[in-house]
Amino acid sequence: MSLLSKVLRKVKVPNFSIRSEPAITRDLVVLAYYLYLRRPPENEEVIRHHMGAANIDQLFANFTNSDEFVDVLHRASSNFGTITLNRLVGAAAQRIDTVVDEKTMVRLVRHVHDVWSAYGKTEPHWSVVTSESYLSDRIAGTREHFYQSGADNVKQLRAILERNGADISTLSTCLELGCGVGRVTQWLAREFSKVVAVDISRPHLDLAVEQLGKQSISNVDFICLSSLDDVEALPRYDLFYSLIVLQHNPPPVIRRMLATIFSKANEGGVCVFQIPTYLENYEFNIDHYLAFIEKRQAMEVHALPQHEIFALASAAGLSPLEVVRDGSVGGVDNVSSIFVFQKTS
């Protein structure tokens, strides 16, 4: 039952039955004023005007399409934002294990490899952007739209670099971690003289190679990561870029990946990557996680606390330029951010 129906039942608006279309009475118009605009009508003339609506849908549309209603919504949502942010300020510490022995690390990386390779075989595009329109039985008609979306990410990247005083024309080699099927890669290739596109899933990577091949893009090297040695062997870079990738790795793997990749930044190089740092009701207890690791075949979302990221960056001689919250992970009490660091020492 809609909120309006509930209210109408309580206030006993004349001629109203929840089964039939209510007549546009004076009371209904007054009620709509309070519901949508939070105020009484200014005079009888405006009430008469609204009573002339063709039907109830039209009446409500007249309110919801008004600038005043947009203002009311805006005020309500900024209040909501304030309440949410204050809740986060007081968020309690969470148990997040980030250090494991080497054998366990290998097992965790293998797990990420297996889960993502399976997605790459069954739902390569949907696993990258989880919209129903990118499911394998629909991608033939939506592929172009899917790949076009990567242009916006590179536009954002340009804006991030510009406002942080980093000149994109001085950055030659871009290392993209988790390139997936090349959605963003093909646009990065237009900005940098060389792109190294890395993924842990061979099926995703094969589609990326195919997609860029169709456009005769030849300045991208593709690397499939199958072990931690492959991560160690990654080349040095001027820009490290990663979006909606690290979050799918258990925290110890995120930590290891970042530590290794940070160490490969060239002098003046910039790191721009997205990662959740706080998730509501989240914990990562390595023993509990390993106990059910074989059963975990669905997409996972993990977080690494900010202080860990700053400590890793500092150890690698990276200085923070910006941390901007982004919307990669839904849910008002989940925090995902894009971090921007620069190699200065």
Total residues at the site for ligand SAM (CB under 6 A)?
21
Q: Which position has the token pair 């172009």? A: 144
- Nearest residue (CB) to ligand SAM, 100 versus 200: 200
Cβ-based neighbours of 188, under 8 Å, separated by 6 or more: 154, 157, 174, 176, 195, 197, 241
Q: How far is CA 117 from CA 88, 126, 170, in A?
A: 35, 13, 35
The correct pick among 33, 197, 199, 337 for binding ligand SAM (CB under 6 A) is 199
Q: How far apart are CA 240 and CA 62, in angstroms?
A: 49
- Nearest residue (CB) to ligand SAM, 248 versus 343: 248
Cβ-based neighbours of 280, under 8 Å, separated by 6 or more: 331, 333, 334
One-letter amino acid of 42: E
Scanning residues 234 to 253, which ones bind ligand SAM (CB under 6 A)?
Answer: 243-245, 248-249
- Does residue 335 bind ligand SAM (CB under 6 A)? no
CB of 267 to ligand SAM, least distance (A): 25
- Nearest residue (CB) to ligand SAM, 67 versus 229: 229
Cβ-based neighbours of 228, under 8 Å, separated by 6 or more: 105, 106, 109, 256, 260
Q: How far is CA 261 from CA 253, 313, 319, in A?
A: 12, 10, 15
The correct pick among 111, 125, 183, 256 for binding ligand SAM (CB under 6 A) is 183
C-beta separation of 248 from 302 below 8 A: yes
Q: How far apart are CA 7 and CA 314, in angstroms?
A: 57
- Nearest residue (CB) to ligand SAM, 114 versus 322: 114
- Does residue 108 bind ligand SAM (CB under 6 A)? no
Q: In the chain, count H helices and then E strands.
A: 13, 7
The correct pick among 186, 201, 277, 342 for binding ligand SAM (CB under 6 A) is 201
The correct pick among 36, 116, 237, 339 for binding ligand SAM (CB under 6 A) is 116
CB of 205 to ligand SAM, least distance (A): 8
- Nearest residue (CB) to ligand SAM, 13 versus 108: 108
- Nearest residue (CB) to ligand SAM, 44 versus 144: 144
Scanning residues 119 to 158, which ones bind ligand SAM (CB under 6 A)?
Answer: 128
The binding site for ligand SAM (CB under 6 A) comprises 112, 116, 128, 177-180, 183-184, 198-201, 204, 225, 243-245, 248-249, 257
